[in-house]
Chain A
Amino acid sequence: MNEEKLKFVIVGHVDHGKSTLIGRLLYDTNSLPEGKIEEIKQLCESLGKDLEFGYVMDHLEDERDQGITIDTAQTFFGTAKRDYVIIDAPGHVEFVKNMISGASQAEAAVLIVDAEEGVKEQTKRHAYILGMLGLSQVIAVINKMDLVDFDRNRFEAVKKDLLDFLSNINIKPSYVIPISAKNGDFIASKSGTMDWYKGPALLEALDTFRTRENANQNPLRFVVQDVYSFDKRIIAGRVESGIIRKGDRIKVLPTGEETRVKSVEEYLRKVTEAEAGKSIGIVTEDKLFIDRGNVIVSDGDMPAVTKRIKANVFWMDRAPFKKGESLTFRCATQEVNCEIEKISRVINSSTLELIAEDADEIKNREVATIIIRTDKPVVVENFNKMEELGRFVLGREDTCAGGIITELE
């Protein structure tokens, strides 16, 4: 397995071949447990049918339920270039919830459309979600080309419909590929069935996408969890991105005070630096007032320090939000009170119909574009730039919504 992994999600209308495509990807990359495909083939034959790749995931899920092999919430396969993780999105409600809450974040998406049926309402809804979540690496596949005799004109007609719709919501797929997941045409490699198509096969196209940049290469974001005073004053926290080194000049936000790192402290280890993902402590040269929720950064690319945030939120509480209610805003270790100043748009996350504009309430499972006003400045970033400080939750006693920051003021 390679170090580099690209996480992606496959979305589209329920009958347009998502399961078949996943089964085919796993089969074509030799990622299935031994004997699995033979077992499915035999069952298909028992029912008088050809092998159907759409049942591969059902069989893997059964094994997971019996505790045997694979975790299908995240399904893995690899190409010569790198490894891939298909994030399971059983429905778009779960998909939005997972993306927003940070449970699983896709870096790319494959939007699947049936060549015979063309663009359907559900295709549009899913595409809309990709746009809302800011996913820019998108491949559209026009599936079931075998059912339309690999006809170029049909492909071009569906492609045009799709691109017309996508352009309205600012999505520009990097590739539009004609495929037959059932037969394996243009999945792992090109086939002779569609000589008129000169672009890459699906896996070749995926290989051209970039993974989320290695967090070490991003600017330093050290989120303070606590401050302990022993013989020295240790500021404990987690390096969300970048690397913190002894001697570095650092700035503490939101106050903006500056100092240098005197030492980096790791339990039972002598270190001089710590990289992204590490929970460590630091000692500063100057004794500054530092507290839980502060974010330590280096000079250069700075996050925003603001009290006003534009965001998309997914409401996850049975009790609706009503304007005027005070909530807790939590981002990394920051926790402040906030109010929702404006509810610009409310959308039904299931049908994606617009429910209201300039609304007064948000109900369970609705997605809303809102403006939040916090009572103290918070250190945040646009989600697409740095997800660790671009993702937040809103709470009452428990979490009632998750959101991503789309614009900063």
Chain B
Amino acid sequence: MIVFAIDALEYTMVEEFNCTNLKQKFFGKTNITEFSQPRTMVLWSSFMTGKNMEKQILAMGDKEMWNTRIDMKDTFFKRFKDPKIIDLPGFNYVKEQHEQERVLLKSYFDVKTDEEKNKIRASYNNLAFEHHRRVKQEFSDALKAGHDFVLGYFSVADVIGHLNFGNRAMMKMIYKDLDEIAGTLKDSFIVLSDHGMEKIGIFGDHSNYGFWSTDFKDLGNPKITDFAGMIK
């Protein structure tokens, strides 16, 4: 089983760019209305445990929540003999990478001049793309290594989207790249996003639903916590 986990994959963009590989046979929106806000750490933690983790994660505070490391035994991954999880928030993601992104994002909004902003945007985008290329390679290697479960978490649509969602051409290239990755998957897979993204001028903010797709079953309007019981 493969889970192609994509942060902030927006349902309407998948449709607009006609990403047929990402859509597979059945696709739709996930229902995340049980959560007060579409927060990345809360949603992925809830996904892997099959429980609404909002209260526990928020109790850790804004800063500390990014250090969340849920134990394998508390996730559905334990059902597999040789699972490979790549960079998943709340489980094993590369903290330094995401921290650097957050620092750059904050400084983008702190600086005043366009020149400074453009410079930071370029560094931020480079950092995100570089990470994306690494994850892509790691995912591709994992798929060849004979694991009985592979989950690859791709943050590029979210990270780039926050500063560039209004740049349609750039977002299209990212969605098409993700679609190409989905096109290389030979075994049965689930595409899942924690939330989508909506345009705010040139920027992007989380939208209140996620995306799912499979080629074996119409899941309707599932909750993100439903997948833990479903994936065997």
Verify if A120 is at the interface (C-beta below 8 Å from B): no
Distance in Å: Cβ of B175 to nearest Cβ of chain A: 11
The answer to whether A48 touches B133, judged by C-beta atoms less than 8 angstroms apart, is: yes
The answer to whether B136 touches A48, judged by C-beta atoms less than 8 angstroms apart, is: yes
The answer to whether A58 touches B174, judged by C-beta atoms less than 8 angstroms apart, is: no
The answer to whether B177 touches A58, judged by C-beta atoms less than 8 angstroms apart, is: no
Verify if B126 is at the interface (C-beta below 8 Å from A): yes
Q: Which candidate, B38-46, B61-69, B164-172, is the interface stretch facing chain A?
A: B164-172
Verify if A128 is at the interface (C-beta below 8 Å from B): no
Task: For the complex, give the distance between the alpha carbons of A46 and B122 in Å.
Answer: 11
* Among B169, B173, B174, contact of A61 (Cβ-Cβ < 8 Å): B169
The answer to whether B170 touches A43, judged by C-beta atoms less than 8 angstroms apart, is: yes
Contacting residues of chain A (13-62) with chain B, CB-CB under 8 angstroms = 43-44, 46-49, 55, 58-59, 61-62
Verify if A285 is at the interface (C-beta below 8 Å from B): no
The answer to whether B168 touches A47, judged by C-beta atoms less than 8 angstroms apart, is: no
The answer to whether A58 touches B133, judged by C-beta atoms less than 8 angstroms apart, is: no
Given contacts A47-B132, A47-B177, A49-B177, contact A55 B169 (CB under 8 A): yes
Distance in Å: Cβ of B140 to nearest Cβ of chain A: 11
Task: For the complex, give the distance between the alpha carbons of A46 and B128 in Å.
Answer: 9
Residues of B contacting A62 with CB < 8 Å? 167-169
Distance in Å: Cβ of A376 to nearest Cβ of chain B: 49
Mark B100-134 against chain A: 1 for CB-CB distance below 8 A, else 0.
00000000000000000000000001100100110
The answer to whether B126 touches A46, judged by C-beta atoms less than 8 angstroms apart, is: yes
Verify if A121 is at the interface (C-beta below 8 Å from B): no
Distance in Å: Cβ of B55 to nearest Cβ of chain A: 38
Task: For the complex, give the distance between the alpha carbons of A48 and B173 in Å.
Answer: 11
Distance in Å: Cβ of A245 to nearest Cβ of chain B: 52
Task: For the complex, give the distance between the alpha carbons of A65 and B171 in Å.
Answer: 15
Residues of A contacting B170 with CB < 8 Å? 43
The answer to whether A65 touches B168, judged by C-beta atoms less than 8 angstroms apart, is: yes
Task: For the complex, give the distance between the alpha carbons of A355 and B125 in Å.
Answer: 51
Given contacts A47-B133, A47-B174, contact A59 B126 (CB under 8 A): no
Task: For the complex, give the distance between the alpha carbons of A44 and B169 in Å.
Answer: 11
Q: For chain A, what secondary structure do more than half of its interface residues adopt (helix, strand, loop), or is it mixed?
A: helix
Chain B, Cβ-Cβ closest to A43: B173
* Among B133, B136, B172, contact of A55 (Cβ-Cβ < 8 Å): B172
Task: For the complex, give the distance between the alpha carbons of A58 and B16 in Å.
Answer: 13
The answer to whether A46 touches B125, judged by C-beta atoms less than 8 angstroms apart, is: yes
Distance in Å: Cβ of B182 to nearest Cβ of chain A: 14
Chain B, Cβ-Cβ closest to A49: B177
Task: For the complex, give the distance between the alpha carbons of A285 and B162 in Å.
Answer: 73
Residues of B contacting A43 with CB < 8 Å? 170, 173
Distance in Å: Cβ of A147 to nearest Cβ of chain B: 15
The answer to whether A46 touches B172, judged by C-beta atoms less than 8 angstroms apart, is: no
Residues of B contacting A48 with CB < 8 Å? 133, 136
Contacting residues of chain B (120-170) with chain A, CB-CB under 8 angstroms = 125-126, 129, 132-133, 136, 167-170
The answer to whether A58 touches B132, judged by C-beta atoms less than 8 angstroms apart, is: no
Residues of B contacting A44 with CB < 8 Å? 173
Distance in Å: Cβ of B133 to nearest Cβ of chain A: 5
Residues of B contacting A58 with CB < 8 Å? 168-169, 172-173
Residues of A contacting B167 with CB < 8 Å? 62
Task: For the complex, give the distance between the alpha carbons of A171 and B125 in Å.
Answer: 49
Task: For the complex, give the distance between the alpha carbons of A44 and B177 in Å.
Answer: 10
Task: For the complex, give the distance between the alpha carbons of A55 and B132 in Å.
Answer: 20
Residues of B contacting A65 with CB < 8 Å? 168
Residues of B contacting A59 with CB < 8 Å? 169
The answer to whether A47 touches B129, judged by C-beta atoms less than 8 angstroms apart, is: yes
Residues of B contacting A47 with CB < 8 Å? 129, 132-133, 173-174, 177
Task: For the complex, give the distance between the alpha carbons of A59 and B170 in Å.
Answer: 8
The answer to whether A61 touches B168, judged by C-beta atoms less than 8 angstroms apart, is: yes
Distance in Å: Cβ of B147 to nearest Cβ of chain A: 23
Residues of A contacting B136 with CB < 8 Å? 48
Mark B177-194 against chain A: 1 for CB-CB distance below 8 A, else 0.
100000000000000000
Which of B168, B172, B173, B177 has most A Cβ within 10 Å? B173
Chain B, Cβ-Cβ closest to A47: B177
Residues of A contacting B172 with CB < 8 Å? 55, 58
Residues of B contacting A61 with CB < 8 Å? 168-169
Chain B, Cβ-Cβ closest to A57: B169
Chain A, Cβ-Cβ closest to B126: A46
Task: For the complex, give the distance between the alpha carbons of A48 and B181 in Å.
Answer: 12
Chain B, Cβ-Cβ closest to A44: B173
The answer to whether B129 touches A46, judged by C-beta atoms less than 8 angstroms apart, is: yes
Residues of A contacting B129 with CB < 8 Å? 46-47
Task: For the complex, give the distance between the alpha carbons of A48 and B156 in Å.
Answer: 13
Residues of A contacting B168 with CB < 8 Å? 58, 61-62, 65
Residues of A contacting B125 with CB < 8 Å? 46
Distance in Å: Cβ of B155 to nearest Cβ of chain A: 14
Distance in Å: Cβ of B107 to nearest Cβ of chain A: 21
Task: For the complex, give the distance between the alpha carbons of A62 and B169 in Å.
Answer: 7
Distance in Å: Cβ of A14 to nearest Cβ of chain B: 8
A-B contact pairs, 18 of them (CB 8 A): A43-B170, A43-B173, A46-B125, A46-B126, A46-B129, A46-B133, A47-B132, A47-B133, A47-B173, A47-B177, A55-B172, A55-B173, A58-B168, A58-B172, A59-B169, A62-B167, A62-B168, A62-B169
Having A47-B133, A55-B169, one finds 5 other A-B pairs with CB under 8 Å, namely A43-B173, A47-B132, A47-B173, A55-B172, A62-B168
Q: State the 10 A-B residue pairs at the shortest beta-carbon distance, nearest first.
A: A46-B129, A58-B169, A59-B169, A62-B169, A47-B177, A48-B133, A62-B168, A58-B172, A43-B173, A55-B173
